[in-house]
């Protein structure tokens, strides 16, 4: 007879951190729904969370380590797998040194306790300058702007969604993404609530997204030009004397001088937003008692990513909305201590990449230069690579080149539950257990939540025989690279308990265990100046490094526009590259299409359903065309994370719905110089019909 019980667990699939109510029958999750009693998500669940059981039960999920033998991979025991890892890594380290190795850390690491606790010892033991992560195809510009403004790259203010009356959103589509750098379960519901209490939200996006459709207003913007729009707003705030003085802020006047060159009438043609609307936006933001500007990935993965991220907070600061209820505020997570209000500040460039001389940022180098480091001969050429929870072959720019570069490594090991486009190149694949068999605490996202709360989920099911906890996998790798014997069994719960006890609320892990629906810690509270880590103990609104980059922006004002540029797109039932193996999430019509405006379609002799050849500096691909007025003229949109039709993988469902890899087109040579972030939006492309 089947034994059925209910268990509660935080969903680890996106930043919204929803509580799930799982039905567990024997040793399987047979249903997942929203946890109605959860203090933060109140029962919200999206289609991805609802397929939690199918994802964890996926027959293609690896359950034992794989070692490459001949042209394929074979299952081996853990001891044998680690022996092969030692035999592959040790000689590289001993002969060529640490810098001949590289590590790439992918996105799911910010959703696991192993990632939060056991990666930094591994990176440290490896001792290489070649640390790469998904951060440089994502939010690194925000870390850099926060680093300079507030002294800490982790001090990221989030829009106080539940109390704001006016929200200006740039480059974010939470109706599909469920939000990012602003943890807000049921983000769409919270946006509708702004409208229900008489407020408004405005979306700035080159595409009329679902979020834009629900907005009070949608402004089309030319990709990559938000910095101009924001500078136009800043210019108006100064010109029309709309600045709200702020107690803890230095550099206001200097910002005003920089903004002089960016009058709305000057920037309007470049960004595509009418000058009058830029001016009135400034007035509305200044006049509203509670307003917030929120920028997300569309403002980061562009050539002026750091300047744009900075200008978002400049507008919030100048309008008096920094650190104010209903404006943007700093969350305070339970495992974090309150600060002292000053610190060493932030700097980059503590080391540089070997081939392109790109500066280190936040302990890492831009992933856009990983292929350079593998391909370019020299003493410290990268010969061995570790990947943990990453699929850079689909997720990083000019991935066709990276895919080829990986074949030139002398050794590669991947910690990953799937044999996919990246891990197929690995000599050893070490699969972590599925999330039902791991404890969960959101080290990353509780510090970004729009309301303070804490939640811990114990493992729902015990480890299967023959499997190894991900913390132990990482600890064993650390032992191998450091040449030390493996330590005792990893104890993530013990580390969490210690962090909670030392943290701002003095909680304990037992208290969190007693509250399976989470512990509410109240609305966000002002944290200035305590949150600051600048040497001055002030918000440095006009940091020299950012001011110096404004020349580059000014120069771009005179640049002729590209006639056709590529942007990305997310869909609610996708999650970057790795959830296309869940049948319920890929059923229905093909979503990996090239959207283009009817005028561009006519200009290129294309109609809906045709196949187009799309070509950029980096590469070329063929894709089905979808003609739609939802993208602006001159812009085409293709989602990322597809392209599952390569040999040597084990994702049968994904392989049957392959799509094409948009990062074949993105260009690894173009980055945001301050953050090293890749430019994944605004890629110049040419298109032409393919004769059928």
Ligand X SMILES: Nc1nc2c(c(=O)[nH]1)N[C@H]1C(S)=C(S)[C@@H](COP(=O)(O)OP(=O)(O)OC[C@H]3O[C@@H](n4cnc5c(=O)[nH]c(N)nc54)[C@H](O)[C@@H]3O)O[C@H]1N2
Interface residue list for ligand X (CB under 6 A):
14, 106-108, 112, 134, 137-138, 170-174, 176-178, 180, 204-207, 209, 221, 223-224, 226, 296-299, 302, 388-392, 395, 415-418, 420, 432, 470, 567-568, 570-572, 574-578, 640-641, 662-663, 666, 680-682
Closest CB 142 distance from ligand X, rounded Å: 11
48 counts as binding ligand SF4 under rule CB under 6 A: yes
What residue 390 binds from ligand X, Mo ion, ligand SF4, none (CB within 5 to 8 A, per partner kind)?
ligand X
Among 1, 7, 8, 13, binds ligand SF4 (CB under 6 A): 13
Task: Pick the closer one to ligand X by CB: 176 or 360.
Answer: 176
Task: Pick the closer one to ligand SF4 by CB: 178 or 399.
Answer: 178
DSSP letter at 631 equals B
What residue 49 binds from Mo ion, ligand SF4, ligand X, none (CB within 5 to 8 A, per partner kind)?
ligand SF4
**Residues 316-355 close enough to bind ligand SF4 by CB under 6 A:** none
Task: Pick the closer one to ligand SF4 by CB: 17 or 679.
Answer: 17
For 422, counting Cβ atoms within 10 Å of its Cβ (0-12 exposed, 13-18 middle, 19+ buried), the class is: buried
Q: Choose the stretch contacting Mo ion; rule: CB under 5 A; options: 132-140, 313-321, 364-372, 557-565.
A: 132-140
Closest CB 644 distance from ligand X, rounded Å: 11
Closest CB 558 distance from ligand X, rounded Å: 19
Cβ atoms of residues 531 and 334 within 8 Å: no
Look up residue 225 and give its two tokens: 């030009």
Using CB atoms, what's the residue nearest to ligand X? 298
What residue 663 binds from ligand X, Mo ion, ligand SF4, none (CB within 5 to 8 A, per partner kind)?
ligand X
Q: Choose the stretch contacting ligand SF4; rule: CB under 6 A; options: 41-49, 96-104, 327-335, 425-433.
A: 41-49
SS3 content of the chain, % helix, strand, coil (to 5): 35, 20, 45
Distance CA 233, CA 239 (A): 10
What three-state secondary structure class fits 79? helix
- Residues linked to residue 440 through DSSP beta bridges, in sequence order: 457
Closest CB 567 distance from ligand SF4, rounded Å: 23
- Residues linked to residue 686 through DSSP beta bridges, in sequence order: 615
Q: Choose the stretch contacting ligand SF4; rule: CB under 6 A; options: 10-18, 352-360, 405-413, 621-629.
A: 10-18
What residue 176 binds from Mo ion, ligand X, ligand SF4, none (CB within 5 to 8 A, per partner kind)?
ligand X
Among 18, 237, 286, 474, binds ligand SF4 (CB under 6 A): 18
What residue 171 binds from Mo ion, ligand X, ligand SF4, none (CB within 5 to 8 A, per partner kind)?
ligand X
What residue 308 binds from Mo ion, ligand X, ligand SF4, none (CB within 5 to 8 A, per partner kind)?
none
What three-state secondary structure class fits 689? strand
What residue 264 binds from ligand X, Mo ion, ligand SF4, none (CB within 5 to 8 A, per partner kind)?
none
**Residues 177-196 close enough to bind ligand SF4 by CB under 6 A:** 178, 185
Task: Pick the closer one to ligand SF4 by CB: 332 or 455.
Answer: 455
What three-state secondary structure class fits 277? helix
DSSP letter at 541 equals S
For 203, counting Cβ atoms within 10 Å of its Cβ (0-12 exposed, 13-18 middle, 19+ buried), the class is: buried
Closest CB 337 distance from ligand X, rounded Å: 27
Among 8, 14, 115, 447, binds ligand SF4 (CB under 6 A): 14
Dihedral angle sign, alpha carbons of residues 432, 435, 439, 443: positive
Among 17, 474, 499, 632, binds ligand SF4 (CB under 6 A): 17
Look up residue 326 and give its two tokens: 């209903």
For 598, counting Cβ atoms within 10 Å of its Cβ (0-12 exposed, 13-18 middle, 19+ buried), the class is: middle
Distance CA 571, CA 483 (A): 44
If you search the block for the tokens 């509780």, which residue do you land on? 446
Closest CB 668 distance from Mo ion, rounded Å: 18
Which residues lie below 8 Å from residue 269, measured CB to CB, with a gap of 6+? none
Closest CB 339 distance from ligand X, rounded Å: 26
Distance CA 350, CA 302 (A): 24
Task: Pick the closer one to ligand SF4 by CB: 32 or 291.
Answer: 32
Task: Pick the closer one to ligand X by CB: 532 or 660.
Answer: 660
Using CB atoms, what's the residue nearest to ligand SF4? 49
What residue 553 binds from ligand SF4, ligand X, Mo ion, none (CB within 5 to 8 A, per partner kind)?
none
What three-state secondary structure class fits 624? strand
Distance CA 80, CA 218 (A): 57
138 counts as binding Mo ion under rule CB under 5 A: yes
Q: Choose the stretch contacting ligand SF4; rule: CB under 6 A; options: 42-50, 57-65, 165-173, 650-658.
A: 42-50
Among 49, 65, 264, 659, binds ligand SF4 (CB under 6 A): 49
Closest CB 61 distance from ligand X, rounded Å: 9
619 counts as binding ligand SF4 under rule CB under 6 A: no
Cβ atoms of residues 386 and 413 within 8 Å: yes
Closest CB 289 distance from ligand X, rounded Å: 25
15 counts as binding Mo ion under rule CB under 5 A: no
Task: Pick the closer one to ligand X by CB: 531 or 614.
Answer: 614
Element (H or E) spanning 21, and its range?
strand 19-25
- Count the site residues for ligand SF4 by CB under 6 A: 12
Cβ atoms of residues 493 and 469 within 8 Å: no
Task: Please write down the HEC assignment for all residues of 342-399.
Answer: CCCCCCCCCCECCCCCCECECCECCHHHHHHHHHCCCCCCCCEEEEECCCHHHHCCCH
Q: Given the DSSP bridges, would you call strands 428-430 and 66-69 parallel, antiparallel or unpaired?
A: antiparallel
Distance CA 627, CA 606 (A): 8
* Nearest partner of 164 among 252, 290, 336, judged by Cα: 290
For 94, counting Cβ atoms within 10 Å of its Cβ (0-12 exposed, 13-18 middle, 19+ buried), the class is: exposed
Q: Compute CA distances 228 → 13, 217, 279, whole Å.
A: 34, 19, 13
Task: Pick the closer one to ligand X by CB: 246 or 595.
Answer: 595
Q: Choose the stretch contacting ligand SF4; rule: CB under 6 A; options: 14-22, 97-105, 143-151, 518-526.
A: 14-22
Which residues lie below 8 Å from residue 6, measured CB to CB, with a gap of 6+? 21, 22, 23, 24
Task: Report the interface residues with ligand SF4, using CB under 6 A.
Answer: 11, 13-14, 16-18, 45-46, 48-49, 178, 185
Task: Report the interface residues with Mo ion, using CB under 5 A.
Answer: 138
């Amino acid at each position: 007879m089947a034994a059925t019980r209910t268990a509660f667990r935080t969903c680890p699939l996106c930043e919204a951190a929803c509580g799930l109510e799982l039905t567990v029958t024997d040793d399987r999750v047979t249903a997942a729904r929203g946890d109605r009693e959860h203090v933060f998500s109140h029962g919200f669940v999206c289609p991805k969370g609802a397929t939690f059981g199918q994802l964890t039960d996926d027959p293609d999920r690896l359950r034992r380590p794989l070692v490459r033998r001949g042209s394929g991979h074979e299952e081996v025991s853990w001891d044998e797998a680690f022996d092969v890892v030692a035999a592959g890594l040790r000689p590289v380290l001993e002969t060529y040194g640490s810098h001949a190795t590289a590590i790439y850390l992918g996105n799911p690491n910010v959703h696991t306790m192993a990632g939060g606790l056991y990666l930094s010892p591994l990176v440290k033991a490896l001792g290489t300058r070649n640390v790469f992560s998904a951060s440089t195809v994502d939010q690194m510009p925000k870390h850099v702007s926060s680093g300079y403004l507030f002294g800490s790259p982790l001090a990221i203010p989030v829009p106080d969604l539940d109390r704001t009356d006016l929200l200006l959103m740039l480059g974010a589509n939470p109706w599909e993404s469920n939000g990012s750098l602003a943890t807000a379960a049921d983000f769409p519901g919270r946006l509708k609530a702004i409208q229900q209490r008489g407020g408004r939200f405005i979306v700035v996006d080159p595409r009329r997204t679902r979020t834009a459709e629900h907005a009070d207003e949608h402004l089309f913007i030319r990709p990559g030009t938000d910095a101009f729009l924001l500078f136009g707003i800043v210019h108006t705030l100064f010109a029309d004397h709309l600045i709200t003085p702020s107690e803890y802020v230095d550099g206001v006047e200097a910002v005003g001088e920089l903004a002089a060159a960016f009058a709305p009438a000057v920037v309007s043609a470049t960004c595509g937003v009418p000058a009058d609307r830029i001016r009135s936006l400034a007035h509305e933001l200044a006049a509203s008692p509670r307003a917030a500007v929120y920028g997300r990935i569309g403002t980061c993965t562009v050539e002026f990513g750091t300047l744009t991220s900075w200008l978002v907070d400049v507008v919030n600061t100048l309008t008096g909305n920094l650190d104010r209820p209903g404006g943007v505020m700093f969350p305070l997570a339970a495992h974090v201590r309150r600060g002292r209000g000053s610190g060493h500040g932030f700097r980059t460039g503590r080391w540089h990449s070997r081939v392109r001389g790109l500066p280190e940022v936040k302990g890492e180098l831009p992933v856009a230069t990983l292929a350079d480091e593998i391909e370019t001969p020299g003493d410290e050429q990268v010969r061995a690579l570790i990947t943990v929870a990453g699929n850079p072959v689909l997720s990083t720019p000019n991935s066709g080149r990276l895919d080829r570069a990986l074949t030139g490594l002398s050794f590669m090991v991947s910690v990953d539950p799937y044999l996919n486009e990246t891990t197929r190149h690995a000599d050893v694949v070490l699969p972590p257990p599925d999330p039902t068999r791991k404890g969960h605490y959101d080290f990353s996202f509780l510090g970004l939540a729009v309301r303070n709360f804490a939640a811990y989920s114990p493992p729902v099911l015990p480890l299967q025989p023959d499997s190894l906890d991900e913390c132990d996998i990482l600890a064993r790798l650390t032992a191998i690279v450091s040449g030390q014997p493996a330590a005792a069994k990893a104890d993530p719960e013990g580390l969490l308990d210690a962090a909670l006890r030392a943290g701002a609320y003095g909680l304990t892990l037992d208290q969190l265990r007693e509250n399976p629906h989470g512990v509410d810690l109240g609305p966000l509270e002002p944290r200035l100046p305590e949150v600051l880590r600048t040497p001055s103990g002030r918000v440095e609104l006009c940091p020299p490094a950012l001011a110096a980059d404004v020349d580059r922006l000014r120069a771009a004002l005179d640049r002729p526009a590209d006639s056709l540029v590529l942007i990305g797109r997310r869909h609610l039932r996708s999650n970057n590259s790795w959830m296309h193996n869940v049948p319920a999430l890929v059923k229905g019509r093909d979503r990996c299409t090239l959207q283009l405006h009817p005028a561009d379609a006519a200009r290129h002799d294309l109609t809906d359903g045709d196949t187009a050849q799309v070509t950029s500096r980096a590469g070329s691909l063929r894709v089905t065309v979808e003609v739609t007025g939802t993208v602006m003229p001159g812009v085409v949109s293709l989602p990322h994370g597809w392209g599952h039709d390569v040999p040597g993988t084990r994702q049968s469902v994904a392989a049957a719905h392959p799509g094409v890899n948009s990062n074949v087109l993105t260009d690894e040579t173009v980055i945001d110089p301050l953050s090293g972030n890749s430019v994944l939006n605004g890629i110049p492309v040419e298109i032409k019909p393919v004769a059928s």
